[in-house]
Amino acid sequence: MNRPALQLILALCLLSASPRLTAGGFDGIDNYIRYSPYFSSSGQPGANEMKALSEAGFQRIIYLAFSDNKSALPNEDRVVKSLGMDYMQIPVDFERPTIDDFEDFAAVLNRDKTIHTLLHCQVNFRASTFSFLYRVIYGGVPMAEAKSDLDSIWQPDRVWYRFIVDVLAKHGLSPACDGCDWGSNEFDD
């Protein structure tokens, strides 16, 4: 096989292994990340993107914000249900996320981990943080790997860092890991 063909095959293999894949119709969804064949997170999808998600095989949408948010999809529950997908909303206060918020989300995902699920909020700050925690606590993903994905979306502020520390502690874990940079937040403890 010639060198250009090998390079193309290698590039395609690397792309298919990347957790940051976007699939057809998802380019319009802000900060879309695919963590596994069954679990992704993103910012707010519009009605057209919801249709594309349904057509791509998504079966469940979990929304982590309040429905009166200015960028929320009006009647998202009806839109999602009309497309044949399950819908769950956990209204997470951005200024006061709670351990119970996370545990409610984890309970939904743990009911069936093979349901193709999109977890979203407005920008993917809440959702990427919940995804980080879920992947580390329940998915066995190394913390540095999950933190790298989180960093690709945002660096959690003090409120969200404290939330991360509290949720991890509840599950007997520490946020400390080789390669994890929590910024100035990690010095607040």
Q: What is the model's pTM? A: 0.85
* pLDDT at residue 22 in the model: 42
Nearest to 85 by CA among 108, 63, 109, 60: 60
Q: Where are the domains of the chain?
A: 14-187
Q: How far is residue 77's CA from residue 126's CA, in Å, rounded to a whole number?
A: 19
**Residues 88-118: tens digit of each pLDDT:** 999 999 999 999 999 999 999 999 999 999 9
pLDDT bucket at 186, cuts 50 / 70 / 90 = low
Residue 19 DSSP one-character state: T
Mean of the per-residue pLDDT values of the chain: 87
pLDDT, average across residues 122-129: 97
**Residues 133-167: tens digit of each pLDDT:** 999 999 999 999 999 999 999 999 999 999 999 99
Quick one: residue 140, left, alpha or beta (phi over 0 = left, psi -120 to 50 = alpha)?
left
* pLDDT at residue 183 in the model: 84
User: What percent of the chain has pLDDT above 90?
Assistant: 79
- Look at the block and give the residue holding tokens 């660096």: 155
What is the homologous superfamily of the domain 14-187 according to CATH?
Protein tyrosine phosphatase superfamily (3.90.190.10)
User: Which position has the higher pLDDT, 26 or 32?
Assistant: 32
SS3 139: coil
Cα separations in angstroms, 27 against 72, 74, 127: 18, 21, 18
Burial class of 106 by CB neighbour count within 10 A (0 to 12, 13 to 18, 19+): middle
